[in-house]
Amino acid sequence: MRSHERRRVKAEPSMTAMIDVVFLLLLFFVLSSTFVLQPGIKVKLPSTVTTERPARKDLVLIIARDKRIFLNNELVKFNSLWGRLVEELKFQQEAALVLRADRDVAHGFVVRVMDVAKQAGAERIAIATSPLDRSKKVR
């Protein structure tokens, strides 16, 4: 009888195919992940214990540290703010106006902007704050 010797074939995975799979997985996760849109204007919000987030599409009025005013991320001069607010509030009568003022902006300027918003017809004005770090003591 003839004995058959079995030869063992060493199968090694191809590194090129493995690298392709890794890159495809990386690409899949990068493209399918959720992107959080942050406004392009940096504002340091004051901290409070109670913070609410708007539930629906509201008008967002941002006052930057250098007193530049942005309505829905568009630069608006103080003199034309009333007209722009009247125009926006025509289409969004139920919308609240969310005021995101930098904590270093003078209080008087913020009050003037709020007064213009009230005169333009904004019935509900919400002042945006950031959550207070619970580890810090309230002063």
The pLDDT of residue 54 is 47
Q: Is residue 39 part of a domain?
A: no
Q: Is residue 65 part of a domain?
A: yes
Considering the entire predicted model, what is its pTM? 0.57
Q: Which domain holds residue 89?
A: 47-131
In sequence order, which residues have a C-beta less than 8 Å from that of residue 52 and are 6 or more positions away? 126
CA distance 1 to 71: 93
List pLDDT tens digits, range 50-63: 766 544 477 899 99
Phi, psi values for residue 28, rounded to 5°: -60, -45
Tally of domains within the chain: 1
pLDDT classification of 45: cutoffs 50, 70, 90: confident
Residue 58: C-alpha distances to residues 1, 81, 94 (Å): 89, 16, 9
CATH value at residue 71: 3.30.420.270
Q: Is residue 12 part of a domain?
A: no
